[in-house]
Amino acid sequence: MAQNTDHDRSSDAPRTATSLNYATDQADGGSTGFQTGSTYKMFTLLAWIEAGRSPDTVVNGTPHPHSEWTACGGPTSAFWQPKNDSPGQRGPYSVRSATAQSVNAAYQSMAEQLDLCDIRDVAERLGVHLATGGELPWNPGSLLGTESIAPLTMASAYAGIANGGRFCAPVVIDQVIAPDGEELGGQPRTCTQAVSPETAATAFDVMQGAFRGGTASGGQTPDGATLFGKTGTTDAADQVWLVGGTTRAVTAYWQGNTDGAKHNLRSFSNGQGGTYAGSRAAVWRDAQTAVNAALPVG
């Protein structure tokens, strides 16, 4: 875990310092998580694949209203008409292309053919939970990441896909070694098969598109490792994410204001000739490059 703040627990700590751990749940570090944006689309993709649907199926990517849904086996009403990130995103998209380009309306069209509770259940099986506690919602808006979730939670969920669908809850202590060298053991692993290896492999394949001309272009590591992942951006573009990695290790990157300011990171200068949001892929790439060197695939 890393964050670009100094650690300071005093009441008069400067704005650049905090004692909160922004990567974890409120119970573990005091932070309340962040809206995940389109990184949450992975769970709709997984539910789509589990339902026996193909990632090459074409769906409607033009913004449109929808009110009748299936939830927990029955009909439910909820008006929803999300906009796409770019006005130019319209027309038919394959699920594969819609994932790479993060087309909101296309994912709405996918959810219209699924049970909203199945999408929620897939997320829960991969350890996803609200940073402040409580049950995950299944309302349509949650499909685009409106709930506040800790970066560690999202990293762990994506790691489950990298791990052939087998989710392992995070541990803090791998091993305790006594002064005489005796290994006393660490926290026990808690692992479950959240989705089938076949479903995980298909999702991993589809989500490579983000780095191959998709919204994570520029994030490819120089080692040429095969990467999968998904970007996320909130409606106001005041928070951005990139979660992904290799079959060996996953990195979750979050960027935003913690003081509640709604700075649009796509227009807010980073002081280096670019924008904060524009540096997302480069920062993630640098981190994942170091991770790949320590944990090479194979």
Separation of CA 296 from chain center: 22
Which residue intervals of 64-143 are DSSP H helices?
A: 95-101, 104-112, 116-125
Q: State residue 34 phi and psi, 5-degree precision.
A: -140, 150
Rounded (10°) CA dihedral 114, 118, 71, 54: 0
pLDDT in tens, the chain (298 residues): 999 999 999 999 998 899 999 999 999 999 999 999 999 999 999 999 999 999 999 999 999 999 999 999 999 999 999 999 999 999 999 999 999 999 999 999 999 999 999 999 999 999 999 999 988 999 999 999 999 999 999 999 999 999 999 999 999 999 999 999 999 999 999 999 999 999 999 999 999 999 999 999 999 999 999 999 999 999 889 999 999 999 999 999 999 988 777 888 888 877 787 887 888 999 999 999 999 999 999 7
Q: What pTM value is reported for the model?
A: 0.95
Which pLDDT score, from 0 to 100, does residue 85 have?
92
- Measure Cα distances from 91 to 51, 55, 123, 210, 234 in Å: 24, 17, 28, 20, 23
Q: With helix as H, strand as E and coil as C, how does 151-198 read?
A: HHHHHHHHHHHHCCCEEECCCCCCCEECCCCCEEECCCCCEEECCCHH
Which pLDDT score, from 0 to 100, does residue 277 have?
80
Which pLDDT score, from 0 to 100, does residue 275 have?
83
Which pLDDT score, from 0 to 100, does residue 260 have?
76
Which pLDDT score, from 0 to 100, does residue 88 have?
93
Rounded (10°) CA dihedral 60, 61, 62, 64: 70
Provide the 3-class DSSP secondary structure of residue 242. strand
Which pLDDT score, from 0 to 100, does residue 261 have?
78
Which pLDDT score, from 0 to 100, does residue 259 have?
78
Which pLDDT score, from 0 to 100, does residue 215 have?
96
Can you tell me the distance from the alpha carbon of 166 to that of 45, in angstroms, rounded to the nearest whole number?
17
The strand pairing partners of 21, in sequence order, are 30
Q: Is the dihedral of CA 178, 181, 187, 188 positive or negative?
A: negative
Q: Which of 228, 250, 230, 225 is nearest to 242 (CA)?
A: 230
Which pLDDT score, from 0 to 100, does residue 246 have?
98
C-alpha R_g of the chain: 19
